[in-house]
């Protein structure tokens, strides 16, 4: 559920203005779009073990919208950045909550080709 950054009113669709306070919301949607794109790219980079790339993407992302989870993810990625050949096993070092958030992040792309987990057995 989105909320107006000004008055915290709930926003259901993507109106140009907030119904309660009339704040212009175009910028908000643009920002969200950018953030989602960066998240998707970063998630892909992480899954491919490209930690330096992921780090750069997450740094850009955190400048747009900061969140505790992205901070943790950035920290994780930073510590892994010089071990470029990351395998999936190392990703499990994320704790359960982080893992869930990470999955949510990936899930935001509707047709998500990057299913984590039992991909190996599907062949």
Stretch that binds Zn ion, among 6-14, 62-70, 81-89, 93-101 (CB under 5 A): 6-14
82, 49, 59, 108 alpha-carbon torsion, rounded to 10°: -160
State which of positions 22-81 bind Zn ion (CB under 5 A): 23
Contact, 45 vs 37, CB < 8 A? no
Q: Whose CA is closest to 18, among 30, 6, 27, 29?
A: 6
User: H helices of the chain, where?
Assistant: 26-47, 51-64, 68-80, 88-91, 96-107
The C-alpha atoms of residue 75 and residue 80 are separated, in whole angstroms, by: 9
Size of the site for Zn ion (CB under 5 A): 8
Residue 2 found at the interface with Zn ion (CB under 5 A): no
Q: Is position 115 an interface residue for Zn ion (rule: CB under 5 A)?
A: no
CA 19 to CA 1: how far, in whole Å?
Answer: 15
Smallest gap from Cβ 6 to Zn ion, in A, equals 4
- Nearest distance from residue 23's CB to Zn ion, in Å? 5
Question: Whole-number minimum distance, CB 90 to Zn ion, in Å?
Answer: 43
Q: Which stretch binds Zn ion (CB under 5 A): 7-15, 48-56, 73-81, 114-122?
A: 7-15
Return residues touching Zn ion (CB under 5 A): 4, 6-7, 9, 18, 20-21, 23
């Amino acid at each position: 559920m989105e909320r107006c950054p000004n008055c915290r009113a709930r926003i259901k669709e993507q109106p140009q203005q907030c119904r309660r306070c009339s704040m212009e919301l175009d910028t908000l949607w643009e920002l969200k779009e950018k953030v989602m794109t960066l998240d998707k790219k970063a998630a892909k980079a992480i899954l491919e073990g490209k930690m330096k790339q992921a780090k750069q993407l997450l740094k850009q992302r955190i400048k747009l919208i900061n969140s505790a989870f992205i901070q943790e993810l950035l920290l994780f990625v930073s510590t892994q950045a010089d071990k470029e050949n990351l395998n999936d096993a190392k990703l499990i070092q994320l704790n359960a909550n982080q893992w869930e958030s990470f999955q949510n992040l990936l899930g935001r792309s509707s047709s998500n080709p990057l299913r984590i987990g039992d991909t190996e057995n599907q062949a």
